Amino acid sequence: MPGMRSSGPATMPPAAVAPPPREGPPREGPPRRAGNPFLSQDPSQKARRLARALISDMVVYHPAKRREGLRDGNLKELFDEEIKKSWEEFTDQVGRDLAESTSHFKDALNEILADGRQLF
């Protein structure tokens, strides 16, 4: 086009290079999946992660209240409402049968909210 300067020939990005072929004998059996626990399809593992996330949220949003409860020994009473709401959310998402047949929620309360103490 008139009046436009050309910056030279257009440069094309280099073509994608295929990875080198694997050396050694081919692997037998189905391919292995990465061991990422966040991609687990196991309902129990999903329930465990959800319980831990719900309880971790309590700690993040109420750090002073948690410190006070641990110090004064009234953690259960201080977090009564939050625990009830989180339990409802937990059972809604994983189902009452799974929620009641595992200790994931209680374990998360003790490990995360109670800082490893067996209070729940």
- Is residue 75 situated within a structural domain? yes
In a domain, 93, yes or no: yes
Q: What is the pLDDT of residue 41?
A: 82
Q: How far apart are CA 51 and CA 37, in angstroms?
A: 15
Examine residue 54 and state whether it is found in any structural domain, yes or no: yes
Domain tally, the chain: 1
pLDDT of residue 45: 95
Per-residue pLDDT, 85: 98
- What percentage of the chain exceeds 70 in pLDDT? 67
Residue 120 in any domain: the answer is: no
Tell whether 25 is covered by a domain. Answer: no
- Say if residues 37 and 45 touch (Cβ distance below 8 Å): yes
Residue 86: inside a domain, yes or no?
A: yes
Q: State the residue range of the domain holding 102.
A: 41-113
Looking at residues 58-70, what average pLDDT do you find? Answer: 97
Does residue 62 contact residue 71 with C-beta atoms inside 8 Å?
A: no
101-118 pLDDT tens trace: 999 999 999 999 999 999
Identify whether the C-beta of residue 108 lies closer than 8 Å to the C-beta of residue 54.
yes
Q: Indicate whether 60 pLDDT > 80.
A: yes
Place of tokens 């989180």: 86
